[in-house]
Amino acid sequence: MSDYRFFDRLRPDAAAERRAIIAGLLADSPAIAPKHFYDSVGCALFEAICELPEYYPTRSERTIFDEHRAEIADAIGAGRQFVDLGAGDCRKAETWLPHLEPSRYIAVDIAGDTLARALARMAPEFPALELTGIVADFTRGLDLRADLGVWPTAFFYPGSSIGNFVPDDARHFLSDIHLHCIAAEGSGLLIGVDTKKDRQRLAAAYDDALGVTAAFNRNVLRHVNSIVGTDFDPAAFAHVAFYNEQQSRIEMHLAARSAQRVRIDGTSRDFATGDLIHTEHSYKYAPAEFTTLLHEAGFASVRLWQDHARDFAVYWAA
Ligand code: AVI
Checking DSSP bridges between strand 4-8 and strand 130-135, what pairing results, if any?
parallel
Does 30 map to a domain?
A: no
Does 80 map to a domain?
A: yes
Does 73 map to a domain?
A: yes
Does 229 map to a domain?
A: no
pLDDT for the residue numbered 19: 95
Nearest ligand 1 atom to the CA of 205 is 12
Find out whether the beta carbon of 224 lies less than 6 Å from any atom of ligand 1. Answer: no
CATH number (domain holding residue 311) = 3.40.50.150
Does 279 map to a domain?
A: no
Nearest CA to ligand 1 atom 5: 282
Nearest ligand 1 atom to the CA of 241 is 11
Q: Ligand 1: distance of its center to the CA of 204 in Å?
A: 12
Find out whether the beta carbon of 217 lies less than 6 Å from any atom of ligand 1. Answer: no
pLDDT for the residue numbered 140: 83
Domain that holds residue 97: 56-197+284-317
- Round to whole Å and give the CA distance between 117 and 43: 12
Count of the separate structural domains present in the chain: 1
- Round to whole Å and give the CA distance between 264 and 140: 24
Sheet containing 4-8: give its strands across: 4-8, 130-135, 104-109, 81-85, 153-157, 188-194, 312-317, 302-306
pLDDT for the residue numbered 11: 72
Does 202 map to a domain?
A: no
* 212 in Cβ contact with 243 (< 8 Å): no
Q: How many CA atoms lie within 13 A of 146 on its CB side?
A: 3
CA dihedral sign of residues 129, 88, 81, 11: negative
Find out whether the beta carbon of 49 lies less than 6 Å from any atom of ligand 1. Answer: yes
pLDDT for the residue numbered 161: 97
Does 77 map to a domain?
A: yes
* 262 in Cβ contact with 268 (< 8 Å): yes
pLDDT for the residue numbered 13: 75
* 34 in Cβ contact with 277 (< 8 Å): no
pLDDT for the residue numbered 2: 55
Q: Which residues of the chain are modeled with pLDDT < 70?
A: 1-2
Does 267 map to a domain?
A: no
Find out whether the beta carbon of 213 lies less than 6 Å from any atom of ligand 1. Answer: yes
Nearest CA to ligand 1 atom 10: 206
pLDDT for the residue numbered 199: 95
Give the count of beta carbons closer than 10 Å to the beta carbon of residue 227: 15
3-state secondary structure of 198: coil
